[in-house]
Structure 1
Amino acid sequence: MQELIYGCMGLGGSWSDEPHGSDHVDEAAAAVDAALDAGITLFDHADIYRNGKSEAVFGEVLAARPGLRDRIRLQTKCGIRLSEPGIPGHYDLSRDAILERVNASLKRLRTDYVDILLLHRPDPLADPAEVAGAVGHLMAEGKVRQLGVSNMSAAQIEVLQDQLETPVVANQLEMSLLKRAWLESHVLVNHSEHLDYSFPHGTVEHCIRNGITLQAYGSLARGLYTGAEPDSPSSAETATSELVARLAADYGTSGEAVLLGWLMKHPAGIAPVIGTVNPGRIRACRDAGRVAQAMTRAEWYQLWVTARGSNIP
């Protein structure tokens, strides 16, 4: 099902070990309210976000609002360990790590289960059978209902799926009008420019074929086309900002809705993840589905060509 997702990475204050404060809980509550106003019911977390504080403040919001958990869906991620003194940051999808990190997330979120668990990054040392065993254990306990991945290629998903008894339901990737490698790889397969993009061609097609929802993080391009002021914007960025504003005026909506609608227009059924903590910007996304339906093919291509700064082949 095509939908908007609220990304909670910005909640909880700093990335330091300092505890969060009541103001951070209030900020999380305001973001949740704005997301619900925009029709969003899926909230995206990861165990590492703000050193666990993103989950913790969200858990406090849930605890203060009986009944809210039944109105929403939660997903979280595991698989990344942040650096510690003498230990570099690394990936860890071992059985013990998956079980440990999911249980810690549930405790911080103050819930008995997550609707979707995402494996955050491919771990070169991960044994797919061991990963499948850990996931199966969590599902048998009722702590995880569905499994997804993040930042994985089609081949990596296939190797994992061979060992799983449950289907992979989502793949979260960076996808936006700014970060277009997923799209450029589609049309540049027979051009030398293809080498400029590292995105593994065939991943989008694999997800479409297997009913895997593409979740797009960074979907608002960090505000680049809707008001953020870079130090030295390129001519393409300036032209794209102007085009987004014009289309927003034409549709009687926000620039945010235009950017998200552009993603959602794609037949893959992309589900954008919205990462801003600004309640106004969150609510500004509510028209994305309407814009996706109304946007013409010519407008869709005009946004793409303008953003890339040159014609497509």
Structure 2
Amino acid sequence: MRTIKLGTSTLEVPVIAVGCMRINSIEKSEAERFVKTALEEGANFFDHADIYGGGTCEEIFSDAIQMNDDLREKVILQSKCGIRKGMFDFSKEHILASVDGILKRLGTDYLDVLLLHRPDALVEPEEVAEAFDSLESSGKVRYFGVSNQKPMQIELLKKFVKQPLVANQLQLSITNATMISNGINVNMENDPAVDRDGSILDYCRLNDITVQPWSPFQYGFFEGVFLDNDKFPELNQKIDEIAEKYDVTNTTIAIAWLLRHPANMQPVTGTMNVNRLRDCCKASDVRLTREEWYEIYRAAGNILP
């Protein structure tokens, strides 16, 4: 599989990240097959969070992959922390405790990447900096990043945090492309021109922060998938047409659309179906033309001024 550098780090990662949020929804034998398939496809980057399944997803993954020291050096593990029941928490105490729990559940001594999950309105960046310094010096975390954050939130952290922030995990799909639409409809009196994120896409490109699109097949806020959905007839017709040209599935094209963007994104899959995972991985070898990218963009109802 094609690889990219994760942000400004020296970490070489596959262009597809394997999301493990739903691994607790399948049987143990299926989980083992799923993880094995990912490794066979060269998708050795696994994305977790301490809240997925209340922590059980990390345990199930570790059991499925049969984590050991030799295998650990062949996989890249990313997890997230900061979400608690009814609140967000970026305090030093919570970050450190969360990482200890993550490491125990994953059966490893270190994380390759730790992301702060959702912005904490009560964040004290000095505490985040202390937590990151402790985690780095102890060898528990090698690289750091954020999730769902805007430019000024990242800038506030960077004022105190000395470690580079190498990734920002953001919601992005063909039908949830406001961070792209905003940059196209500049200074227009229409809804796509509304700046909802402070030009986060351009900011990440300028600062060499890898964008990790989550829910790459979802529309709305977890309302469902747009592929093979009667609500999106024009979009599915166009995707199917292009999929036939490249002799791949519509799943592959949906991921290839994200990979075609020059920001060098790393989409996070969510499927637990091994065949769909393989289809996602095939997107690494498909490069859409500029015309095809815009045809899909317009077919989703996105407008060009």
TM-score (norm 1): 0.87
The aligned amino acid for 2:164 is P
Aligned twin of 1:36: 39
**Is the Cα–Cα contact under 8 Å of residues 67 and 107 in structure 2 kept in the other structure?**
no
- Output the CA distance in 1 between the equivalents of 2:125 and 2:278: 40
Q: Which moved more, 1:35-44 or 1:150-159?
A: 35-44
**Is the Cα–Cα contact under 8 Å of residues 218 and 274 in structure 1 kept in the other structure?**
yes
Aligned twin of 1:276: 271
1:257-287 deviation line (CA, Å, top 9, x unaligned): 1111111111111111110001110011122
Secondary structure (helix, strand or coil) at the match of 1:61 reads helix
- Output the CA distance in 2 between the equivalents of 1:33 and 1:193: 47
- Output the CA distance in 1 between the equivalents of 2:153 and 2:202: 14
Matches for 1:106-255 after TM superposition, within 5 Å: 106-194=103-191, 197=194, 199-221=196-218, 224-227=225-228, 229=229, 233-234=230-231, 237-255=232-250
How many angstroms does 1:205 deviate by? 1.0
Secondary structure (helix, strand or coil) at the match of 1:164 reads coil
**Is the Cα–Cα contact under 8 Å of residues 12 and 56 in structure 1 kept in the other structure?**
no
- Output the CA distance in 1 between the equivalents of 2:127 and 2:265: 30
Q: Which moved more, 1:281-290 or 1:27-36?
A: 27-36
Match of 1:6 among 5, 14, 18: 18
- Output the CA distance in 1 between the equivalents of 2:201 and 2:99: 28
The answer to whether the aligner puts 1:71 opposite 2:74 as a matched pair is yes
| Count, aligned residues | 289
How many angstroms does 1:290 deviate by? 1.9
Aligned twin of 1:264: 259
Aligned twin of 1:47: 50
- Output the CA distance in 1 between the equivalents of 2:68 and 2:278: 21
- Output the CA distance in 1 between the equivalents of 2:227 and 2:251: 7
- Output the CA distance in 2 between the equivalents of 1:289 and 1:271: 10
The percentage of aligned residue pairs carrying the same residue is: 37
Aligned twin of 2:59: 56
Distance 1:224 1:183, change over 3 A: same
- Output the CA distance in 2 between the equivalents of 1:56 and 1:196: 43
How many angstroms does 1:32 deviate by? 1.1
Aligned twin of 1:289: 284
Distance 1:62 1:290, change over 3 A: closer
The aligned amino acid for 2:56 is K
- Output the CA distance in 2 between the equivalents of 1:176 and 1:133: 35
How many angstroms does 1:149 deviate by? 0.2
Q: 4+ residue stretches of structure 1 with deviation over 6 A? A: none
The gaps in structure 1 that reach 5 residues or longer are: 14-22, 83-88
- Output the CA distance in 2 between the equivalents of 1:204 and 1:154: 9
- Output the CA distance in 2 between the equivalents of 1:245 and 1:192: 33
Root-mean-square deviation over aligned CA pairs: 1.8
- Output the CA distance in 1 between the equivalents of 2:107 and 2:100: 10
TM-score (norm 2): 0.90
The gaps in structure 2 that reach 5 residues or longer are: 5-13
Aligned twin of 1:298: 291
- Output the CA distance in 2 between the equivalents of 1:245 and 1:37: 27
Secondary structure (helix, strand or coil) at the match of 2:166 reads strand
The aligned amino acid for 1:75 is Q
